[in-house]
Each structure stands twice: as C-alpha cells, then as structure tokens.
Structure 1
Amino acid sequence: MRHDLYSLQLFMTVAACGSIAAAASRHNTVASAISKRISDLEAGIGTPVLSRKRHGVELTPAGQDLLRHAQAVQDAVRRMEADLSRHAAGLRGAIRIAANTSAITQFLPEDLAAFVADHSDLAIELVELTSDAALAAVRSGQADLGIYSGLSDAGDLRICPYRSDTLVVAAHRGHRLALRRRVRFADVLDEDFVALQQGSSIQAHLERQAARHGDKLRTRVQVMSFDGVRRMVQARLGIAILPFGAVEPYLEGSNLAMIPIDEPWARRELRIAIRDPELLTIQARTLLQVLTGTEDARPSVRQPAPRQGNVTLAAPRSALSPEGKEPCR
C-alpha cells in the first residue's frame, strides 16, 4: 500500500469534522475530490474507513486504526520539520493559527502585526473558527497554535495563557437597559436576544448560565459574526452579550450602548493550545513565546489595558512581563 501525506491529512480532517463537506471547506477544495482520495485509501487498504451517514460520516474500526497511524505519521513529519528548522539560518516559513472570533477581533491583529514587523520572512496562515473547531484543528495537525476560550475543554492538549476578556451587554441606545450602570444576568433573561451561531463558546456559556437560573435564552435572531450581531442590535431586534472589545470600539457614532455585567463569569480567559512543544517549528515556538509574554515583545503589544468603568478590554499578561507568568501546562 502506498499512501501520500495529503490524503492522510484530508482523512484526519474528515475524522475531526465528521463531514466530508466540512473538511472540503476547511481545505478550500470540493467534496468530490476528498471523496475520491478517501475511496483510493479504502481501495489500498481493502476495507472501508468511513461509514457514510445521512448527516455526515463515522469512522469504521479500520478507520479508527488508520487515524491513529496517520496521526503518528504526521507527528513524525512535524518532528522532522521542527528538528530541521533549527538548522535554518534565520526565521523563514509559515505558522498556522486557528483562532476564535474573540481573539481575532480584539487582540491578534496588533500582536501579529508587531511580530511580523520583526520577522518579515514569516507568513501567518490564520483561520477563524469556533473555539472547539480551533482545538480540533490543533489535534488533527492542521494548526500549530489554537487560540480558544477557556470555557472549552482542551482535553489532553498543552495549554498556555494568552489574554482575558470581559463580556458585556450590547443594546440599542433607546433600550430600557441603556442607562443602567451595570446589570445582573437575571435582569436580561426576559429580553429577546441576538445570538451567535451554534458552536460558539460564548453562546454555549450563556445557555449554561440561563439553565442555572432555570430559564432559557429567548433567541430572536442568530448570526455568524460579531458584526452581524451589532447590526441586528442597532436594528432593535434584541440585545446581545459580546466581548468588550467587540462593542466598545463601535460605540461612537452608532446607536449601540454597552452595559457591564455584574457576574463573576463575565470575565473569561483566552488560551493557546498546542499538541506538543517538541512538534513546534522554531518559528511557531518563537511566536508562541511572544503571544504568551515569555519573550520580550514590541512595546506596542505590551501597553496597559484600557478600562471603561469596571470593565477591562485586555487583561494584563502578568503586567505584560514574563515575571510571574503562568507557564504553559
């Protein structure tokens, strides 16, 4: 049997997504191309590796064995790349990052701009995913670093602290809540909500909190992006709960109002997940050190976090210095 690495990579993505169509979208290809490669794998092995279902696929026993071996092969390749990268002169290559919307909206643009300015030979391949999908991308080897909400379970992945953010209520300026200094979650449970898509860690978090109150969120509209949520809120279709950094910069000149949430769970951690430090290339390791504050970064990345009332936009990374920094674990 002869297996190429790309087919094995596609197979691992299908296994992680549970869907050939979703895997095709992840790899910017068509489902038929992936189906053909999977069929070729099955022909070479002599048995099916996927069980086709109405709403996706499942691994057969042979598929589970193939996944285990494919991951071992990928780990060996990544280890080879990491070892060889140490012999390279300077930092060249690409770093693959899967990050949730909160990280991309609030923190990554400035952090990556500062990093790339100092490492102009490096390319950053960034994909926006939900937290759970970002973790799956790291597990499957599609991403070197996965930035996710600490509300999601990283399982056996190694995790490093990145940032903190604070959830706030976004409402139309004419809404009854707009003049409140702060609100408790129980105060808003009777409101219509503009919600994020299923799979969002914020949405899952809010649904769990509502359940603890013996209630459910009244979702009127569900959209895919923070921008879509803000537009719906300004159209008076409901209120929303979003990170501070997805609301505060858009207040001026808009019909948005922002109200802090007086609940301990409104503050959440953003973290970086990796599979194994030994599998990281020197380029990815360098970026990880900068993002986690364990290596001196440019001053523009390490400014004190702005505040509005009792709400903090970007939590300090140990006063944004390495001393006392919580290590990766």
Structure 2
Amino acid sequence: MRFDLTDLRLFLNVQETGSITAGARRSHMTLASASERVRGMEDALGVPLLLRGPRGVEPTPAGRTLAHHARVVLAQMDRMRGELDHYGQGLKGHVRVLCNTTALSEYLPPVLGAFLKDHPRVSVDLEERLSHEIADALRAGACDIGVLADSADLHGLRTLTFRHDPLALIVPAGHPLDGRESVMLADVADQEFVGLVEGSALQEHIAHHARRGGRVLSYRVRLRSFDAVCRMVGQGVGIGIVPRVAAARYGRAAGVRRVALADDWAARDLVLCVRETLPAYAAELVEYALRGAPRDAPRDAQTARVSGDAPGRTRSPRRRRPG
C-alpha cells in the first residue's frame, strides 16, 4: 500500500466537498486524474473508500478511517514544515482558515493583509462557513483556525475572544424607528427587509432566530456586502440587520440610523478557535489576529494556548445558537 501526500490531500478534499469533481478542483488536478488516484487507493486497499451516488459521494467506514489518518499525517507534515522553516528559505506554509460572514468582510482582511505581507512564503485558504460548521470542522481537524460567533457549541475547543460583534438594526432617516434606543426583532418582523444573499452565515443566523419566534422575514432584495445593504436601506427600500461595526462604518455615507437589537442572540462575540497544535507560521497568524482583540483577554494566556506550551482553556458557550 503506497499513498503519497497528494493522494491523502485529494481524498480529504473529496470527502469534505462531497464530490470527486469539487475535490479535484480544490486539489488543482483534472477530474480524470483525481478519479484514477481514488480508484488506485481503493485497489491498493482492496475495499471501496467512497459510496458514489447521483448527488455526490460519501465515505465508507474504511474511507472515514483513511480520512482520520490523512488529517493526522498532513497535520504532522505542516508542523514539520513550520519547524524546519526556521532553518531555510525554501519551504512554504499553508494555513486553512474558516470564518463567518462578519469576520470575512469586516475583521480578517486587514489582519491577513499585514500577515501575508510579512510572510511571503505562507499562503492562506480562507472560506466562509456557518459558525456551527466551523466548530465541527475544528473538532474534526479539517482546518487550522476558525473565527466564529460564540453562539456556536464550543465544547472541547480552545478559544480566545477575537472581537466584540453585536448586531444592530438599521433604518432610513425619518423612519418611525429613527431615534429609538433599542428594539426587539419581534417588533419589526412584519416589515420589509434588505439582507445578504441566501447562504451567508449571518443571514442564516438571523433567519434561525426569526423562525424560533414563529416568523419568516420578508426580503425585498438580497445583496453581497454590508456596504450595499446599508446603501439600499438608506434609499428607503427597507430595514436591515448588520453588525454594529458595519453600520458604523457605512451608516453615515448611506444615510441610515442605527438602533440596538435587544435580543440576547444579537449580543455576541467573535471567538478565535484553534486545533490542538499549530505549525509555527499558523501560530504567528493567530498572534496577528489577536493584536486587535479586546484587552480583557490576557496576552500570555493567548500565546500559551496557540503555541502548545501550556494547556488551553476550554470555554463553555453562554448559549447554543447557530450564527
């Protein structure tokens, strides 16, 4: 049985995407080459690794076992690269980061810009996911770093407060709610909304809590950025829910007014979570990210938790809710 690192990484990509085609694309190889490699692994083991169906593939018990060991092997290779990187200039590091909508659009771009500028031989794979999906991926070892809402189930994860990230309602100037200090979602659920495109992590978070209250929000238009949402609200198309930081950033130019959301689920923090041990370059990315973290998180504890020099604190969630 001979599997190389390309085989292992390809198989993980296929398993995570649920498709040989998508796994091949993520692995930067042709579908024919990817299919041949997967078949070669199955032939070498003498058992099927994937159950193939019209809607994609699912791992067999043998496939799940292979995926587990592949993650261990590839994580060890990443650590080796990180440690050997101090001795030469030829090795290149790769960090996989999963994050929610707000982290992707508001907080991570300047962090990654500074980090990548200072680390020209490191690349970052950044992907938006729902917070509960990020937590599951971290527990499965499918990513190095996750930035997610503290509303997710964080059991067993090593976490650090990344940013305070409360949500706010935005309304056009002159709206009946203009001037109100706070409001509950139930008070405005019957109004027309402007939101993000379907599938965005924040939009799923809001929709979930609307459904819990027995309501389905009505959207006149869905857009791809907080800037566009604020501008559309400012033109009187509807009202919206965005992170307070986005409302503050775009609100004045868009002509919107900000009203605090009084619902418990709207008062949230973004947390940074890591797997048990990180390569040196991934730990450095965490350090860059925490430079703007709230001051109530002690710096020495942050360093210990990401470097593996001391056991990290396990954080219990205040509430369990997707976001």
After TM superposition, the score normalised by the length of structure 2 is: 0.76
Matches within 5 A, 1:178-197: 178-197=178-197
Counterpart of 2:244 in structure 1 is 244
Residue by residue, what CA displacement relative to the aligned partner does 1:129-148 show, whole Å, maximum 9, x if unpaired?
12445556656666432222
Q: Deviations over 1:146-166 (max 9, x none)?
A: 222222335544333211211
In the alignment, which residue of structure 2 is the partner of 1:130?
129
Q: C-alpha distance in 2, partners of 1:115/1:151?
A: 28
- CA gap 1:116/1:16 in 2 versus in 1, 3 angstroms: closer
Distance 2:31 2:154 in 1: 28
State the distance in 2 between where 1:202 and 1:231 align.
18
> Does structure 1 residue 322 correspond to structure 2 residue 299?
yes
Once the two structures are overlaid, the 10-residue window that deviates more, 200-209 or 238-247, is 200-209
1:283 aligns with 2:307: no
More deviation in 263-272 or 155-164?
A: 155-164
Partner of 1:108: 108
Could you tell me how far 1:273 is from its partner in structure 2? Answer: 2.1
1:99/1:126 contact within 8 Å kept: no
Which amino acid in 2 is paired with 1:172?
A: P
User: Per the alignment, in what secondary structure is the counterpart of residue 146 of structure 1?
Assistant: strand
Q: Extract unaligned runs of 5+ from structure 2.
A: 306-311, 315-323
In structure 2, distance between residues paired with 1:195 and 1:55: 30
* Secondary structure of the corresponding residue to residue 169 of structure 2: strand
Q: Distance in 2 between matches of 1:255 and 1:91?
A: 51
User: Does the 8 Å contact 1:171/1:238 carry over to 2?
Assistant: yes
Q: Quick one: which amino acid aligns to residue 68 of structure 1?
A: H
Whole-Å separation in 2 of the counterparts to 1:35 and 1:172: 54
Deviation at 1:275, TM superposition (A): 1.7
Q: Any idea what SS the aligned residue of 2:73 has?
A: helix
After superposition, residues 117-156 of structure 1 pair within 5 angstroms as 119-121=118-120, 123-132=122-131, 134-135=134-135, 138=138, 143-154=143-154, 156=156
Distance in 2 (CA, whole Å) between partners of 1:287 and 1:240 is 33
Q: How does 1:15-26 map to 2 (within 5 A)?
A: 15-24=15-24, 26=26
Per-residue CA deviation, residues 150-205 of structure 1 (Å, 9 max, x unaligned), is 22335544333211211011333354434433322111111223343455442333
CA contact (8 A) 2:80 2:279 kept: no
- Match of 2:164, SS state, is strand
**CA deviation after TM superposition for structure 1 residue 5, in Å:** 1.2
Q: Which residue of 2 aligns with 1:210?
A: 210
Q: Which residue of 1 aligns with 2:53?
A: 53
Q: 1:57 to 1:173 in 2, by over 3 A?
A: farther
Q: Give the Cα–Cα distance (whole angstroms) in 1 for the partners of residues 90 and 145 of structure 2.
A: 17
Structure 1 residues 23, 229: CA separation in 2 closer, same or farther (over 3 Å shift)? farther
The Cα shift of 1:107 comes to 2.1
| Root-mean-square deviation over aligned CA pairs | 3.5
What is the Cα deviation at residue 124 of structure 1?
Answer: 4.5
Higher helix share: 2
The equivalent of 1:307 in structure 2 is none
Cα distance in structure 2, aligned partners of 1:193 and 1:28: 40
Q: Quick one: distance in 1 between partners of 2:248 and 2:90?
A: 37
One-letter amino acid matched to 2:128? L
SS at match of 1:250: helix
- Percent identity among equivalent residues? 34
Displacement of 1:235 after TM fit? 5.7
2:144 is aligned with 1:167: no
Could you tell me whether the CA contact under 8 Å between 2:231 and 2:255 is conserved in 1?
Answer: no
Task: State the shift of 1:59 in Å.
Answer: 1.2
The residue type equivalent to 1:322 in the other structure is R
Quick check: 1:178–1:257 contact (8 Å CA) kept in 2? yes
Partner Cα distance (2:179, 2:91) in 1 = 52
Equivalent AA in structure 2 for residue 11 of structure 1: F
2-structure distance, mates of 1:55, 1:98: 25
SS at match of 2:193: strand
Q: Give the aligned residue type for 1:146.
A: G
1:120/1:62 CA distance change after superposition, 3 Å: closer
Between stretches 186-195 and 33-42, larger displacement belongs to: 33-42
Q: Give ranges in structure 1 of 5+ residues lacking alignment.
A: 302-314
